[in-house]
């Protein structure tokens, strides 16, 4: 594998984020303290640049159509601890320290993933997960 | 919050996965044993149905344009332990037990996230992460 060219997408060390047709890349954000998956969001090139330059997580809000510095209104600022990219460079994995009340979800919960899908006789249903 | 209707996207208990315009939903897959993020992939409705019905992870391969039962060729079958959905029901979080050699990435590594983005004077660069 050491023979791979520097710009090889999978084995190289050149960062070549592959944005989708709408200019976005998926980012999974993990609480560095607990290891818990907090949220899945998207970044455009500007959000990624600002995240790397500032060390604070920025996203692109698809619903609002605007750049979004996480925590600007909620206080739940996310300080970047480590940012990884996946094999085909179309997804990011961020480990963060969360400010404010330590949460990430606008519903007031720590994680956006607060419901489990259960298989029932009449099809899938959701069940609320108690926060620890 | 108990007053929310059953079909409320954020507070209800009706599973209403929101597929994107191309019919896909993002799935983050976590190793249940280690808590490590293994991969980010996509599901169409059929992949999601088959995953729920079989308890084995199925994805939609965007590059190959086909339904994909993870592990069919690699042996790295992923048995579903728990599937969660996020607040706006456009992302899934799967905890899985990994068969075969315990890996998930086609490059031979356990996780697809084997490179860290580092901020250098000449812009971001990647660094390989040693597997534990």
Identify whether the C-beta of residue A24 lies closer than 8 Å to the C-beta of residue A44: yes
Q: Which fold has domain A18-101?
A: Ubiquitin-like (UB roll) (3.10.20)
3-state secondary structure of B50: helix
Structure confidence at residue A2 (pLDDT): 55
Q: Write the pLDDT tens digit of every residue in B62-104.
A: 999 999 999 999 999 999 999 999 999 999 999 999 998 889 9
Q: What is the pTM of this model?
A: 0.95
Say how far apart CA B19 and CA B37 lie, in whole Å. Answer: 22
- Residue B92 half-sphere exposure toward CB, CA atoms < 13 A: 33
DSSP A132: -
**Cross-strand partners of B123:** B120
**Is residue B132 over pLDDT 70?**
no
Q: Which pLDDT band, with edges at 50, 70 and 90, does B4 fall under?
A: confident
Contact flag B40-A91 (C-beta cutoff 8 Å): yes
Selecting from B15, B26, B117 the residue whose C-beta is nearest the C-beta of A84 gives B117
The torsion angles phi and psi of A80, rounded to 5 degrees, stand at -70, 125
Say how far apart CA B9 and CA B31 lie, in whole Å. Answer: 27
Q: Looking at CA atoms only, how far is residue B72 from chain A in angstroms?
A: 20
Residue indicated by tokens 């149905």: B49
Tokens of residue B34, six digits: 């280690």
Selecting from B37, B39, B119 the residue whose C-beta is nearest the C-beta of A30 gives B37
Tokens of residue B57, six digits: 């992870």
Residue A13: count of CB within 10 angstroms of its CB? 15
Contact flag B93-A84 (C-beta cutoff 8 Å): no
The torsion angles phi and psi of A42, rounded to 5 degrees, stand at -130, 155
The kind and range of the H/E element at A25 are strand A25-31
Q: Write the pLDDT tens digit of every residue in B100-130.
A: 888 999 999 999 999 999 988 889 999 999 8
Separation in Å, CA B34 to CA A73, A130, B13, B73, B97: 34, 21, 29, 24, 10
Spatial CB neighbours of A116, under 8 Å, sequence gap ≥ 6: A126, A127, A129, B82, B83, B84
Mutate: best of A74, A84, A103, partner B, most B CBs <10 A:
A84
CB of A85 within 8 Å of a chain B CB? The answer is yes
Q: Which residues of B touch A109 (CB under 8 A)?
A: 87
Structure confidence at residue A4 (pLDDT): 82
Contact flag B125-A37 (C-beta cutoff 8 Å): no
pLDDT < 70: residue spans in chain A: 1-2, 132
Selecting from A37, A107, A116 the residue whose C-beta is nearest the C-beta of B28 gives A37
What does DSSP say about strands B58-61 and A66-69: parallel, antiparallel, or unpaired? unpaired
**Is residue B2 over pLDDT 60?**
no
The torsion angles phi and psi of B105, rounded to 5 degrees, stand at -95, 140
* ipTM of the complex model: 0.94
């Amino acid at each position: 594998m050491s023979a791979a060219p520097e710009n090889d997408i999978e084995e190289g060390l050149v960062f070549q984020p592959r944005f989708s047709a709408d200019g976005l890349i998926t980012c999974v954000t993990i609480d560095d303290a607990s290891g818990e998956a907090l949220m899945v969001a998207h970044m455009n090139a500007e959000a990624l640049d600002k995240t790397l330059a500032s060390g604070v997580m920025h996203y692109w809000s698809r619903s609002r159509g605007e750049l979004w510095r996480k925590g600007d209104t909620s206080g739940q600022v996310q300080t970047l601890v480590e940012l990884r990219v996946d094999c085909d460079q179309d997804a990011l994995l961020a480990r963060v320290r969360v400010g404010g009340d330590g949460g990430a979800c606008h519903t007031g919960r720590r994680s956006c993933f607060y419901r489990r899908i259960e298989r029932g006789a009449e099809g899938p249903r959701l069940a609320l997960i108690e926060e620890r």
